[in-house]
Structure 1
Amino acid sequence: MNKHVELQDLGFKDYKETWDYQEQLFRGIVDTKIKNRHQETQLETGNYFLFVEHPHVYTLGKSGDASNLLLNERQLAEKGAVFYKINRGGDITYHGPGQIVGYPILDLENFFTDIHKYLRLLEEMIILTLAEYGLKATRSKGETGVWLDVDTPFARKICAMGVRASRWVTMHGFALNVNADLGYFDHIIPCGIRGKGVTSLNVELGVKSLDTQEVKHKLIRHFKALFNADVKG
C-alpha cells in the first residue's frame, strides 16, 4: 500500500480549471486500478492532496436543490460569482477568497476502505486544527462538516465538506473558512440547512486576518497523523 501523498498548493485558481485537474488525477488513479485488475499487474496507485483558493463560486452537489441558490444569473454576475452543478455529494456551498479549500485525491485502498471513516477523519483534522486556535469545534449529527456551538441557538458551520468516491478513489473535499467574506453565504441556503449560521476563523478570533499558510501547515500535520501518511510537496 502506497501511503505517500503528493501535496500541491495551487494558489488562487479558477474552480472549473481545478475541477478538471482533479478529474485528471482521479482518472489516472482509477485507470491504474482497472489495469491492475484486468492485467493482473501490481502498479502502485498515487495519492494527492491539493490546496487551493477559488474566486467567488457557488457549487451544487448532485443531490442538491437548485432553489437553495438565491441569486439569478444577472445577480451572480453583479456579485462577480459563477455557479456550477458538480458531481460531489452534498447540497450547495460557496468558495471564495479567504477560504482554504482542500481536495484529497486518495486511493483509499492504500489506507482503509471505509468512506464513513474517511469523512470522520477529515472532520477530525479540522477539529484538531481549530483546537490549536482555542476553538471547541464539533460534528453535528447527520450533517457532514465541522461546527461551533452545536445544539444551541448559535450553531454555526465553519467548514463544509462534500466528496465523491469511485473504486475507493476520492475527490472534492473540504472548505474551511479562515478569512472568508461571510456576506456571500447570504445568497444561498448553505448545504441546504436552514436556521443555522456560518462563521470564519478570523471572526471567531476577533482578528482581521490569519496566516493561511500557518493554518495549512497545521491541517497537513494532523492529516499525516490521522491517515498515517507520508506527505511531501
Structure 2
Amino acid sequence: MKIIDLGLIGYKEAEALQLETLAAVTAGERENTVFLLEHPKVITLGRQGGAENLHMDPKLLAEHGIELAQTTRGGNITCHFPGQLVAYPIWRVEKRPGGMRRFFHDMEEAVIRTCARFGVATIRRPGHPGVWVDETRKICSMGIGVKRWVTYHGLALNVGRDLSLFNAITLCGIQGAVPTSIEGETGRDIDMKDVKNVFEEEFRKAFADSALA
C-alpha cells in the first residue's frame, strides 16, 4: 500500500484526486492508496441525506467561509475542519477476506489502536460505524463509497479541541451523540504529525493482520 500525506487540502480538490486514484486502482495501474489530510471547514451530506440535520442556513455558512458539499459516501451529515485527521483509503476489496464488513472493522481497529497509543480508550458501537469513547461521545466518523469493488471516502478522527463546527449539525444524524477528540479526552496538546505517523503504523498493521487472517 501507499500512504500519502496531502496536508491541508480543499474538499473538492481532494475529491477529484480520490476519483483520479480510484480509476487508476480499478484499472490495476496503481496500488492501494491512502490519503491522509486535513480539510478547511466543510459540512458534507451523505447518500442517506443529512440536510434535515443541518442547523444553519447555507447562506450563513457561506458568509462564515464554511463550504457545504453533497457527497457520494454512505452515512448522513458530518463536518471536517483543521485539527481533524481525515483518511481516504482507495482500496480494492473484491478479493479481500471478509469483504466490506471486515474493511470497516479494520479501519475502526486502526483508529482504536491509534487512540490507545495517545491514552484514549475507545469502543465500537454496534449499528453505528465509527469509533466511540462511550455510548454518546463519538471520536471518529466513517463513511465510504464503492465503485467496482474499490473504496473511496473514509474516516475522520477528531484530534484538536475545537469541535465548534459540530454545533451546526446533528452529528451523523444521531440524536444524543456528541463529538469528542483526542485532545479533549487527554487534556493535552497533540501534534497532528504525531497522530498521522501513529495512524499510518496502525493502519498498516491492521490491514496486514487481516490479510494474514
SS in 2 for 1:50: strand
Residue 212, structure 1, aligned to residue 185, structure 2: no
Assess, with a 3 A threshold, how the Cα gap between structure 1 residues 109 and 44 changes in structure 2: closer, same or farther.
farther
Residue 134, structure 1, aligned to residue 119, structure 2: yes
Aligned pairs (5 A) from 1:14-163: 14-30=10-26, 32=27, 45-109=30-94, 111-112=96-97, 114-150=99-135, 155-163=136-144
The CA deviation at 1:180 is 4.8
CA distance, structure 2, for counterparts of residue 194 and residue 172 of structure 1 = 24
- Aligned counterpart, 2:155: 174
Gapped regions of structure 2 (runs ≥ 5):
none
The structure-2 alpha-carbon separation of the partners of 1:105 and 1:186, relative to structure 1 and needing over 3 Å to count, comes to same
* 1:10 counterpart letter in structure 2: L
- State how far apart, in whole Å, the 1-side matches of 2:12 and 2:164 are: 23
Aligned residues of 1:99 and 1:180 also touching (Cα < 8 A): no
Q: How far did residue 44 of structure 1 move?
A: 6.0
| TM-score normalised over the length of structure 2 | 0.93
The whole-number CA distance in structure 1 between the counterparts of 2:89 and 2:49 is 22
Q: Kindly state the Cα deviation for residue 126 of structure 1 after the two structures are TM-superposed.
A: 0.5
- Whether 1:183 aligns to 2:164 is yes
Residues 1:113 and 1:142: Cα distance change in structure 2 (over 3 Å): closer
Aligned length: 209
1:203 aligns with 2:203: no
1:146 to 1:156, Cα distance in 2 relative to 1, 3 A:
same
Where 2:202 maps in the other structure, the secondary structure is helix
Identity value in percent:
40
SS at match of 1:224: helix
For the pair shown, the structure with the greater C-alpha radius of gyration is 1
Unaligned runs of 5+ in 1: 33-42
* Residue pair 2:21, 2:30 contacting (<8 A) in 1 also: no
Counterpart code for 2:187:
G
Q: Tell me the amino acid that sits aligned with residue 44 of structure 2.
A: T
Contact 1:97–1:181 (Cα < 8 Å) also in 2: no
Q: Which moved more, 1:81-90 or 1:68-77?
A: 68-77
Q: State the 1:110 CA deviation.
A: 6.2
Q: CA deviation at 1:61?
A: 0.5
Runs of 4+ in structure 1 displaced over 6 angstroms? none
Q: Distance in 2 between matches of 1:50 and 1:212?
A: 15
**TM-score, structure 1 as length reference:** 0.85
Residues 34, 88 of structure 2: 8 Å contact kept: yes
